[in-house]
Amino acid sequence: MLGIAEEGKITKEASVSCRVEAARDDSPIDSGRFFMALTAAQIEQQKQQAEELLFSGPQALGFAKGLFFGRYNGDLLNPYPQIRLDEQSRVNEKVDEVLQYAEEHIDAAAIDRNAEIPTEVVSGLGRLGVLGATAPAEYGGLGLSQLANCRIMEVIGGHDAAVGVFVNAHHSIGIRALLLFGTEEQKRRWLPPLARGDQLAAFALTEPEAGSDASNVQTTATPTPDGEAYILNGTKRWITNGGIAGVLTVIARTPGAGGNKKKEITAFLVTPDMPGFKVLEPRMAKTGIRGTATGRLAFENMIVPAENVLGQVGKGLRIALTVLDFGRTTFGACCTGAAKTCVRAAATHAKKRVQFEQPIADFELVKKKIAWMAAHAFAMEATTSECAHFIDSGFEDYMLETAMLKVWSTEALWKIVNDTIQIFGGKAYFTDEPYERMMRDARINMIGEGANDVLRAFIAMVGIKPVADQFLTVKQALEHPFRDFGTLLSFGGKQLRARFTTPDVPVRNSPLREQATELARRIRDFSFAVQAMLMKHRENILFRQYVQERLADAACELYASSCALARLDSLMSIGNGHAEEVARDVAAGRYFLRLSNRRIKQCLAALSDNDDAETTATADAVLEKY
């Protein structure tokens, strides 16, 4: 997590679908009463900024975007990703080392109670190489793949969420930004001490006025007259590692280049020894992940050399969005680890706890919870592994997949923790058990690294846009039917075929063919629903967040089901040398596919059978009172 309010990093992801609602002339909410209305020019500017940020350059049709067209690009998921042969033994040894270290040295309860991760734990993680796991060996790192790193983060996340967030902020966000966008000189200067854990990294974006609207960053970076440096002024808050980091990536507003002088967002490498750097609050008290040092910072006429610009001037938000793809993937790994911890604890307790003269594991409502937990832990691991595979394979575009992973996995974990507490009953409510802490720790997951509601708007609109672009091409072709007859013929043929066929979802194992067929039908139904909503709402779909939510949730389920199916097919074909374990995983995975299939149908049905008007009317009535 970059900081508590990491939703601030994805404003451009959703600006076309979130903030503009308040400014519409025909918005169901009186913007004069509840909001400061945006002008038409401001709305158009936000749209243009989002277009520039998200859709500039060639757009690859990744797996998730393909779903919106009714396509199942199975080659992108299969064969199911495995740790590379050349690193398998090393990764297994490292995972065992981290597990042993966590059990012997990371006291999660003490970290929560004292609201601090001990320096010896940080040093220990550094010695193990965890703090530089994916950094190349030439810079002092382990040089592991993203998939291998997810294995390590799963162990850490299953032991203590606070340590997981700390490592994620340092490694998956802080170091990753430098690895991807730093110059060779910057890398050689900053990376070795960061990879060893001698210094910590932080990513500082969130401000009082820049939460979900990161374009509203108020921290300024003014070039000096000689162009040799920038003078930074402003404040940052809720920054993980902010008060203890040795190197911070700071996002600030710079004057635009060229004739229009439009202000831009730029990233800077900053160190706390720079005059004017102030830590206003090193450890802000909070509900969960208490061990993380969440800081509040200020910059007062802080001079930063021009050579400390990270990436290109004006491309700071692009850096933030890119590193979030990495952070969300390891975030999913941490959620997977926590989910597995809950499954193990709940099942063990349910077998031991006797009520009404029988173990509570015999009761159907307990079985229902345990089955749901195991099914979603299985799919969580599969979805995380596929996202990691996209990164390791050098795919150009996986921002939708990582956003889906983040939304889906964090909400699944929240239910898993809640159900674990329900199975334990009153015992879980007391602080001598870890579950109340896990509940407090898990709540931030749906806010940090992109607030889930904002990400839902992002998923829907980024997925819909290529479909809308295709419709626009057809509309333009209709204006010149003879000239563009080929375009119309191709579109009509595809539509006709789609009405009578489903995408091919191949599996190697015949017992999975029924569920593969069901998945294919849901993908087809989803693509028809996307088209129907586009035709119904047209450009106003930008403002229909009820619709966006249902499409995003269906898309998340389709992606998670596709990943789970790929993992199932691999397990049933290859196995893992443990027949009983494979049998349990197969049962969990197949159960997940059934649950997910039902949820997809419910999401799509709600597009036409809903209470949206009553929802808005009720909310308006309440809002008018306060």
Give CA separation, 13 vs 43, 86, 376, 403, 529, in Å.
15, 37, 27, 10, 22
Look up tokens 């059990």; give the residue: 103
Look up tokens 């990703």; give the residue: 81
CB 215 within 8 Å of CB 15: yes
Tokens at residue 522, please?
Answer: 């849901």
Degrees, nearest 5: CA angle 433-439-443: 160
Question: If we measure between CA atoms, which residue out of 276, 308, 281, 283 comes closest to residue 189?
Answer: 308
CB atoms within 10 A of CB 573: 13
Look up tokens 């204006």; give the residue: 479
- Secondary structure (DSSP) of 357-385: TEEGGGSHHHHHHHHHHHHHHHHHHHHHH
CB atoms within 10 A of CB 29: 16
Quote the DSSP letter at residue 256.
P
Tokens at residue 129, please?
Answer: 């190489």
* Active-site residue set: 449
> Which residues are CB-contacts of 582 (< 8 A; sequence separation ≥ 6)?
571, 572, 575, 576
> Which residues are CB-contacts of 360 (< 8 A; sequence separation ≥ 6)?
350, 353, 354, 366, 423
CB 412 within 8 Å of CB 380: yes
CB 525 within 8 Å of CB 72: no
Q: From the centroid of its chain, how far is CA 349? A: 32
Quote the DSSP letter at residue 22.
G
Q: Where are the alpha helices (DSSP H) in 229-363?
A: 316-352
What is the Cα–Cα distance from 129 to 127, expressed in whole angstroms?
Answer: 5
What is the Cα–Cα distance from 401 to 501, expressed in whole angstroms?
Answer: 25
Specify burial of residue 36 (Cβ count, 10 A radius: 0-12, 13-18, 19+): exposed
First and final C-alpha spacing in the chain = 34
> Which residues are CB-contacts of 358 (< 8 A; sequence separation ≥ 6)?
none
CB burial string 189-202: b at 16+ within 10 A, e below? bbbbbbbbbebbbb
What is the Cα–Cα distance from 449 to 3, expressed in whole angstroms?
Answer: 8
